[in-house]
């Protein structure tokens, strides 16, 4: 299919033209760049052809402030079906492919689940030949890099472009202008190919960079006013300089608002320009050719912006423009946390986007009229108004301005329909849908766990499962086959050895690869309850101290999590876990039995090493709080039983794989609802000495927060509450005993290796539902109304 000799020549030519070097002298990152660019050269024709094919029919556009892509090289080679060939070619050039893969910086243009979901979706759309384009921001700096100093989190800027980005192409001639009240900037698109698995189609992710018109002012420069000379340029570039490191809403900031409007306005202008070229100026057909998905509320300003473009620039009447807008957009909700529902102070909008704000006011005014006509009273109207008490409620604008609102797991969608957004479900019952999240099996199994993939392919006699994941179900026929079960254990052991090696190098910590790997990796958030895990570890530690003969399976507790830099309590939890790690690591009595390691800078590429090596997947959020979770699916697909609450997609995971093959504990949503008003955590604390003992380590001197007061603050948050929340807001005390008892069951079950391997097998075999291919097909059929178009 392609010519390795030519590719090699191209690599060597790129090394010469770009770096002035021969292969022998080139640095690793130079070889990585040269290989990547050479691969880019081989796909441009297919890419072009795909764009052309898509331009004639209906297409979908995925607007997202975040795309957490991770690394490209390995995945692209895999999807092109040339991984092994390239590996061999590189070997002949005396290059180890792993070195090139490892040198690549993650494209970390997202915080966590929402951004990674967007990345998995892009990949599935490519694989399924669906006409879908991603639109977002090309942040110069992605999510911060994390390290620990004395157990405290440190942050450092993520300069991911320092050696360039061979996977994107700047399209100068397709730049557009974006206008704010106080400035006008250029939006330059950078296109990245989305290479589907085993298909010629190549989709596009288009990310916008902000630049100034005036590069730089020579007169000021000549007057030696150097700073002012570049001021304009810097101010414009600030807009796409850095990703906000919050995975829940924070105080409205002008720059964040500018980011949102910047990429939304640029994307809509791009779409409209294309539409006019293909279809002229009759906008009535616009929704027949475009479905635009809003990934959470971050791009919801698209609703008034499209209205503005249609009404002000294209002279369309309000009524027709509104009809077009609602038919075009749909909205995904990713959270039920009240504090995370995005709201903007209208003063900010008035200042930065005055015309857009007027349009939002108009939308709100007309909406309220509709409610009055329905006979709604003023209390109800206030509770639903889009603008209320000077705040714009973006989720309400989103539901009202789109034809479909979806949740990301069944439980989450039900909570939206019947609790959080009940009033909205009443007026728009046909607008609500569920779309349970998924993950791409290419990156999250075929690429990151080649050992397990090969085994599966050998057992099934085909690798078709890679794009038809429900075929894994056939693995169930090996449930009584000891040879297969042992092989599963062997593969797991191999991945654990590899992880242990990596952790030794990158964290400087030795872990026992024969111990049980118990892993919790996700953003640090109170609702995700890393603190419950920590309390469980301390409880085990104290029991071991009291009874050194206690027989337990040696266990390594592994954490990975970044805390938002301003989320002090989350940072306190990191310090607390690191202190527990030190306490246990320094105690010769227990250190061969338990170990705690908090890996630094958890990110997509670290995840690719952690998920395959896990024996237990910790998914222990307070029931009702985790919209879906997707890490839970990555563990499952790699044969790891879930230790979790009935929350988010955990519910569906155990529905598929069987409760007996997972470990479910804790209060369910209904119970939380029932107890929340009268909940008194002090009762648990005072009546349970084991609980009291672990909680008291926050204040009794067992562990030190270096005099910061962080631990006492955590203690008070649990027992006294704070002005903005009740004590133990996330019901850790309620679930504590359930959790430790369930951990004891894990310990017991793990000893029967064959029985354990069956659980692993059942999880793999039943992970089919959680392919993002399935999710995306549901979006395509039930929301976007688009069809595959294979070139």
Residues in touch with ligand 26Q (CB under 6 A): 111-114, 117, 244, 246-250, 256, 334-335, 340, 342, 408, 437, 626-630, 648
| Both structure tokens of 513 | 């690869």
Smaller CB distance to ligand 26Q: residue 556 or 632?
Answer: 632
Q: Rounded to the nearest whole angstrom, what is the least distance from the CB of residue 395 to ligand 26Q in the complex?
A: 11
Smaller CB distance to ligand 26Q: residue 407 or 681?
Answer: 407
**Cβ atoms within 10 A of the Cβ of 139, count?**
26
Which residue of the chain is nearest ligand 26Q when measured via CB? 113
Smaller CB distance to ligand 26Q: residue 14 or 114?
Answer: 114
Smaller CB distance to ligand 26Q: residue 335 or 578?
Answer: 335
Q: Rounded to the nearest whole angstrom, what is the least distance from the CB of residue 626 to ligand 26Q in the complex?
A: 5
Q: Is 630 a catalytic residue?
A: yes
Distance between CA 280 and CA 278 in Å, rounded? Answer: 6
Distance between CA 191 and CA 208 in Å, rounded? Answer: 9
Alpha carbon distances (Å) from 734 to 87, 432, 623, 730: 52, 33, 12, 9
Distance between CA 566 and CA 94 in Å, rounded? Answer: 46
Smaller CB distance to ligand 26Q: residue 113 or 560?
Answer: 113
Smaller CB distance to ligand 26Q: residue 113 or 193?
Answer: 113
Q: Rounded to the nearest whole angstrom, what is the least distance from the CB of residue 271 to ligand 26Q in the complex?
A: 24
Distance between CA 415 and CA 335 in Å, rounded? Answer: 10
Q: Is 429 exposed, middle or buried (0-12, 13-18, 19+ CB in 10 A)?
A: exposed
Catalytic residue among 335, 630, 645, 697: 630
Catalytic residue among 138, 145, 298, 528: 528
**Cβ atoms within 10 A of the Cβ of 52, count?**
10
How wide is the angle at C-alpha 676 spanned by C-alphas 671 and 679, nearest 5°? 105
Tell me phi and psi for residue 668, to 5 degrees.
Answer: -90, 170
Smaller CB distance to ligand 26Q: residue 495 or 603?
Answer: 603
Q: Is 694 exposed, middle or buried (0-12, 13-18, 19+ CB in 10 A)?
A: buried
Tell me phi and psi for residue 479, to 5 degrees.
Answer: -60, -30
Helix ranges (H only) for 212-332 are 218-222, 226-238, 254-279, 286-289, 302-308, 318-328
| Both structure tokens of 501 | 């090696």
Residue 170 DSSP code: E
Catalytic residue among 290, 625, 634, 734: 634
Q: Is 464 a catalytic residue?
A: no
Distance between CA 385 and CA 397 in Å, rounded? Answer: 9
Q: Rounded to the nearest whole angstrom, what is the least distance from the CB of residue 121 to ligand 26Q in the complex?
A: 10
Residue 1, SS3 per DSSP? coil
Q: Is 525 a catalytic residue?
A: no
Among 645, 687, 567, 683, which Cα is nearest to 111's? Answer: 567
Q: Is 413 a catalytic residue?
A: no
Q: Is 21 a catalytic residue?
A: no
Contact 208, 263 (CB under 8 A): yes
Catalytic residue among 522, 575, 758, 759: 522
Smaller CB distance to ligand 26Q: residue 256 or 595?
Answer: 256
| Both structure tokens of 614 | 């896990």
463's enclosing H/E stretch is: none
Contact 416, 425 (CB under 8 A): yes
Catalytic residue among 116, 290, 334, 609: 334
Q: Is 37 a catalytic residue?
A: no
Smaller CB distance to ligand 26Q: residue 250 or 749?
Answer: 250
Q: Rounded to the nearest whole angstrom, what is the least distance from the CB of residue 648 to ligand 26Q in the complex?
A: 5
Smaller CB distance to ligand 26Q: residue 135 or 244?
Answer: 244
Residue 405, SS3 per DSSP? strand
Contact 574, 718 (CB under 8 A): no
Residue 587 DSSP code: -
- Work out the end-to-end distance of the chain between its first and last CA atoms, rounded to an integer number of angstroms: 16
Catalytic residue among 133, 206, 492, 523: 523
Q: Rounded to the nearest whole angstrom, what is the least distance from the CB of residue 619 to ligand 26Q in the complex?
A: 10
Active centre residues (catalytic) = 334, 522-523, 528, 630, 634
């Amino acid at each position: 299919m392609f010519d390795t000799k030519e590719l090699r020549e191209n690599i060597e030519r790129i090394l010469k033209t770009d770096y002035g070097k021969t292969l022998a002298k080139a640095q690793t990152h130079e070889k990585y760049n040269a290989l990547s660019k050479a691969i880019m050269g081989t796909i441009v024709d297919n890419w072009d052809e795909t764009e052309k094919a898509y331009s004639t029919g209906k297409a979908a556009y995925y607007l997202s402030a975040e795309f957490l892509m991770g690394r490209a090289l390995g995945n692209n080679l895999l999807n092109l079906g040339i991984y092994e060939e390239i590996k061999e070619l590189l070997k002949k050039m005396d290059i180890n492919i792993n070195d090139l893969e490892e040198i690549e910086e993650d494209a970390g243009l997202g915080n966590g689940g929402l951004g990674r979901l967007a990345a998995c979706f892009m990949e599935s759309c490519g694989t399924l030949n669906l006409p879908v384009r991603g639109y977002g921001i090309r942040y110069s700096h992605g999510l911060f890099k994390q390290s620990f100093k004395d157990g405290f989190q440190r942050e450092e800027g993520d300069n991911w472009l320092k050696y360039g980005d061979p996977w994107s192409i700047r399209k100068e001639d397709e730049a557009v202008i974006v206008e704010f009240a106080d400035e006008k900037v250029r939006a330059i698109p950078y296109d990245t190919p989305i290479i589907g698995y085993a298909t010629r189609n190549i989709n596009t992710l288009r990310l916008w960079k902000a630049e100034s018109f005036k590069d730089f002012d020579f007169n000021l420069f000549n007057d030696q006013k150097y700073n002012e000379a570049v001021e304009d340029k810097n101010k414009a570039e600030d807009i796409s300089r850095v990703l906000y490191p919050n995975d829940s809403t924070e105080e409205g900031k002008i720059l964040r608002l500018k980011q949102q409007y910047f990429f939304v306005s640029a994307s809509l202008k791009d779409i409209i320009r294309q539409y006019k070229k293909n279809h002229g100026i009759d906008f009535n057909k616009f929704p027949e050719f475009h479905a635009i998905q809003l990934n959470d509320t971050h791009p919801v300003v698209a609703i008034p912006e499209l209205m503005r473009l249609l009404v002000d620039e294209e002279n369309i009447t309000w009524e027709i423009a509104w009809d077009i807008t609602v038919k075009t957009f749909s909205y995904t909700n990713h959270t039920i946390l009240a504090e995370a529902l995005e709201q903007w102070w209208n003063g900010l909008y008035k200042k930065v986007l005055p015309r857009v704000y007027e349009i939002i006011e108009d939308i709100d005014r007309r909406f309220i009229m509709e409610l009055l006509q329905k006979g709604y009273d003023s209390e109800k109207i206030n509770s639903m108004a889009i603008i209320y008490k000077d705040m714009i409620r973006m989720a309400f604008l989103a539901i009202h301005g789109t034809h479909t609102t979806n949740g990301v797991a069944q439980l989450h969608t039900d909570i939206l329909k019947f609790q959080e957004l009940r009033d909205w479900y009443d007026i728009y019952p046909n607008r609500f849908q569920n779309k349970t999240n998924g993950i791409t099996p290419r990156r999250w199994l075929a690429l990151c766990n080649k050992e397990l993939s090969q085994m599966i392919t050998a057992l099934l006699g085909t690798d078709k499962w890679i794009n038809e994941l429900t075929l894994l179900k056939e693995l169930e026929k090996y449930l009584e086959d000891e040879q297969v079960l042992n092989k599963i254990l062997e593969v797991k052991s191999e991945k654990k050895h590899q992880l242990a090696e990596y952790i030794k190098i990158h964290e400087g910590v030795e872990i026992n690869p024969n111990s049980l790997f118990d892993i919790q990796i996700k953003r640090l958030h109170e609702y995700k309850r890393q603190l419950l895990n920590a309390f469980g570890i301390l409880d085990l530690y104290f029991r071991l101290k009291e009874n050194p003969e206690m027989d337990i399976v040696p266990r390594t507790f592994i954490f990975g999590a970044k805390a938002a830099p301003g989320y002090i309590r989350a940072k306190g939890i990191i310090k607390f876990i690191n202190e527990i790690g030190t306490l246990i690591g320094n105690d010769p009595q227990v250190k061969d039995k338990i170990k705690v390691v908090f890996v630094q800078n958890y990110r997509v590429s670290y995840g690719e090493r952690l998920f395959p090596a896990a024996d237990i997947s910790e998914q222990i959020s307070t029931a009702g709080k985790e919209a879906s979770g997707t890490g839970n699916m990555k563990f499952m697909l790699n044969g790891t039983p879930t230790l979790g609450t009935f929350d988010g997609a955990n519910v569906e995971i155990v529905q598929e794989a069987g409760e007996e093959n997972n470990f479910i504990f804790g209060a369910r949503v209904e119970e939380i609802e029932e107890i929340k008003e009268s909940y008194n955590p002090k009762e648990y604390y005072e009546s349970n000495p084991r609980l009291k003992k672990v909680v008291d380590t926050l204040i009794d001197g067992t562990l030190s927060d270096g005099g910061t007061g962080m631990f006492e603050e955590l203690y008070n948050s649990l027992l006294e509450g704070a002005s903005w929340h009740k004590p133990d807001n996330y019901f850790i005390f309620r679930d504590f005993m359930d959790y430790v008892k369930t951990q004891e069951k894990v310990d017991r079950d793990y000893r029967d290796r064959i029985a354990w391997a069956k659980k692993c097998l059942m999880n793999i075999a039943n992970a089919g539902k959680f392919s993002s291919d399935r999710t995306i097909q549901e979006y395509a059929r039930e929301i976007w109304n688009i069809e595959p178009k294979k070139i």
